[in-house]
Structure 1
Amino acid sequence: MVVFILIDGLRPDAIAPADCPNLKRLIARGAATMRATSVMPSMTLPCHTSIFHSVPPQRHGISSNVWSPMARPLPGLFDLAKAAGKRSAFAYNWEELRDLGRPGSLDLALFRSTAYQADGDDIIAAEAARALPGGGYDFAFVYLGTVDTAGHYYGWMSEGYIAQIAAADRALGVVEAALPADTVYVLQSDHGGHERTHGTAAPEDMTIPWLVAGPGIRAGHTIAAPVSLLDTAPTIARLLGIAPHPEWEGRCVEEIFV
Structure 2
Amino acid sequence: MPDHSSSPAPRAPRVLVIGIDGVRYDLLRELPTPHLDSVAQAGFLTPVEVAPGTPTMSGPCWATIATGVGPAKHGIWGNNFTGHRLEAFPDFATRLARVDGRRTFVTGGWAPLMIQQDGGALFRAPGRLSFIAPADHTPKAWDDCDEQVTAEAEHVLAASDPEASFVYLGAVDETGHSLGCGSEYREAVVRADERLGRLLAAVRSRPSYAAEAWTVIVVTDHGHVDAGGHGGNTLEERTAWLACAGPQFLPGRPVGTVRHADVAAQVYASLGRPVDPHWTLDGRPFGS
Same fold (TM over 0.5): yes
The 2-side partners of 1:12 and 1:91 are apart by 24
Answer yes or no: is the 8 Å Cα contact 1:119–1:167 preserved in 2: no
Q: State how many pairs are aligned.
A: 250
The 1-side partners of 2:177 and 2:81 are apart by 21
The 2-side partners of 1:51 and 1:254 are apart by 16
Q: CA deviation at 1:245?
A: 4.5
Instruction: Indicate which of 217, 224, 246 corresponds to 1:186.
Output: 217
The 2-side partners of 1:250 and 1:128 are apart by 27
C-alpha distance 245-78 of structure 1, shift in aligned 2 (>3 A): farther
The within-5 A match list for 1:1-258 is 1-33=14-46, 35-39=47-51, 40-71=54-85, 73-82=88-97, 83-98=99-114, 99-102=121-124, 105-114=125-134, 116=138, 117=141, 118-156=143-181, 158-180=182-204, 182-194=213-225, 195-223=227-255, 225-246=256-277, 247-254=280-287
Give ranges in structure 2 of 5+ residues lacking alignment. Answer: 1-13, 115-120
SS at match of 1:65: coil
C-alpha distance 68-244 of structure 1, shift in aligned 2 (>3 A): farther
The 1-side partners of 2:75 and 2:248 are apart by 36
Q: CA deviation at 1:100?
A: 2.2
Q: CA deviation at 1:222?
A: 4.1
Highest CA radius of gyration, 1 or 2? 2
Report the TM-score, using the length of structure 2 for normalisation: 0.81
The 2-side partners of 1:134 and 1:159 are apart by 36
Q: Deviations over 1:190-223 (max 9, x none)?
A: 1111121111222211111112113332113343
Answer yes or no: is the 8 Å Cα contact 1:32–1:221 preserved in 2: no
Structural RMSD (CA): 1.9
**Identical columns (%):** 29
Q: Deviations over 1:37-91 (max 9, x none)?
A: 2242111111111112222223222111112243583233123212122110001
C-alpha distance 221-13 of structure 1, shift in aligned 2 (>3 A): farther
SS at match of 1:229: coil
- Structure 1 stretches of 4+ with a deviation exceeding 6 A read none
Report the TM-score, using the length of structure 1 for normalisation: 0.90
Q: Deviations over 1:85-104 (max 9, x none)?
A: 211000112111022233xx
Structure 2 counterpart of 1:108, one-letter code: R
